[in-house]
Amino acid sequence: MASNTPTLLVEDLKTYFYTKAGVAKAVDGVSFSVAKGEVLGLVGESGSGKTVTGFSIIGLVDPPGKVAGGRILFNGEDITGASEERMRRLRGSRIAMIFQDPMMTLNPVLRIDTQMIEAVQAHDKVDRKTAFERSRDALGQVGIPSPEERLKAYPHQFSGGMRQRVAIAIALLHKPDLIIADEPTTALDVTIQGQILYEVQKLCRERGMSLIWITHDLAVVAGLADAICVMYAGRIVETGAIAQVIDQPLHPYTHGLIGSVPSHNRRGQPLAQIPGMAPSLLNMPQGCAFHPRCPRADAKCLEIPGVTTPRQPDHRVRCFHPHAGAAA
């Protein structure tokens, strides 16, 4: 395989939910790529389609949802229409996912060792003892003290932060090529957030793994990611290298997001909020989905803007009137 093949290439991905009330286009034409060893931040408000994007990649979109179009290439292989068995072999082994809520991720009635050993044995034909040792080492690596004893415990005997470490250890068991981390720290308190963020980043860098870090908090990815995708209502509205997007945002929505991060705000002033609410997927505004909340909107915005690169070729935006001028 050529070394310049990206770990993940997503092209025009469409994931729709066919509900009784209508078709919810949770992901509607999303394209991005993640190079080997790259960390991509996927940012957007609640309901913008980040989690659905992640589940689409590992093939775990549940009915009434369905991948309705587009292609997903993983290490060059088109996995969009792959068989369930092929996807099972990839999941946990080559592509791992860490979920949003650590309290719900582990099965409450199974011991940690059971849940880790089965994950090892799902992909490698090794005996229980080897699987146990690998699980123990993996727990040690994510900073769980006395892992041998802790393996015998049940999830309820762990704190939220410790459970998320277990989930991370499980994700790392097979040294996957790609980890999708779906806001793994949102449910945790701030100090634990920082630790886990640091550790995941370190482990990924050490092993050359690609990482998609999903969050609604721009400040979190600013110090972590190489590149960033900003999602709004199922579409990527801006994407580029981290410095480009943070320092010189093009899209009015990204501008708003940056304005609402405390560190970018002048002391003593109230935080800038993006006025209005995210649109309902079943009742999308005509044209640019952001126009009801956009300070730059005009009549032109009643059509759907295409992708343009007004400043640099790899800094893409979907907007008729991007901030092409000075930085925010």
Partner 1 sequence: MSVYIIRRLLQAVLVVAAMSVLVFAGVFMIGDPADILISDDADQAERQRLIESLGLDLPVHMQYLRFLAKALQGDLGTSFVFNEPALLLILDRMPATLELAFSALLLAVVFGIPLGMWAGLKPDSLASKSIMAGSILGFSLPTFWVGIMIIMIFAVMLGWLPSGGRGTTRELFGIDVSFLTVDGLLHLVLPAVNLALLKISLAVRLTRAGTREVIHQDYVKFARAKGLHPRRIVLVHVLKNILIPVITVLGLEFGSLIAFSVVTETVFAWPGMGKLIIDSINQLDRPVVVAYLMITVCMFIVINLIVDLLYSLLDPRVRLQDVKG
Ligand X SMILES: Nc1ncnc2c1ncn2[C@@H]1O[C@H](COP(=O)(O)OP(=O)(O)OP(=O)(O)O)[C@@H](O)[C@H]1O
Binding site for ligand X (CB under 6 A): 17, 19, 24, 26, 44, 46-52, 64-65, 100, 216, 281
Find, among 250, 235, 248, the residue nearest to 290 by Cα: 235
Residue 256 found at the interface with ligand SF4 (CB under 6 A): no
Of 165-194, binders to partner 1 (CB under 8 A) are: 167, 170
**Amino acid found at 253:** Y
Least CB distance to partner 1 at residue 109 (A): 5
Residue 17 found at the interface with ligand SF4 (CB under 6 A): no
Instruction: Choose the stretch contacting ligand SF4; rule: CB under 6 A; options: 12-20, 104-112, 210-218, 286-294.
Output: 286-294
7, 305, 315, 323: which one binds ligand SF4 (CB under 6 A): 305
Instruction: Show the tokens assigned to 99.
Output: 């979920």
**In the chain, alpha helices (H):** 50-58, 84-90, 102-105, 112-121, 128-141, 147-150, 160-172, 190-207, 218-222, 242-247, 252-259
Which of the listed partners (ligand X, Mg ion, partner 1, none) does 146 bind, with a CB threshold of 5 to 8 Å by partner kind?
Answer: none
Q: Which residues, including other chains, have CB under 8 Å from residue 115's CB and lie 6 or more apart? A: 106, 107, 166, 170
Of 42-71, binders to Mg ion (CB under 5 A) are: 51
269: helix, coil or strand? coil
Least CB distance to ligand SF4 at residue 286 (A): 11
Q: CA–CA separation, 214 vs 217, rounded Å?
A: 9
Phi-psi region of 166 (alpha: psi -120 to 50; beta: other; left: phi over 0): alpha
Which of the listed partners (partner 1, ligand SF4, ligand X, none) does 296 bind, with a CB threshold of 5 to 8 Å by partner kind?
Answer: ligand SF4
Instruction: Show the tokens assigned to 10.
Output: 């997503």
90, 203, 231, 289: which one binds partner 1 (CB under 8 A): 90
Closer CB to partner 1, 155 or 256, in the complex: 155
Residue 316 found at the interface with ligand SF4 (CB under 6 A): no
Instruction: Show the tokens assigned to 150.
Output: 């802790």
- Which parts of this chain interact with ligand SF4 (CB under 6 A)? 251-252, 288, 290-291, 294, 296-297, 301, 305, 319-321
- Which parts of this chain interact with Mg ion (CB under 5 A)? 51
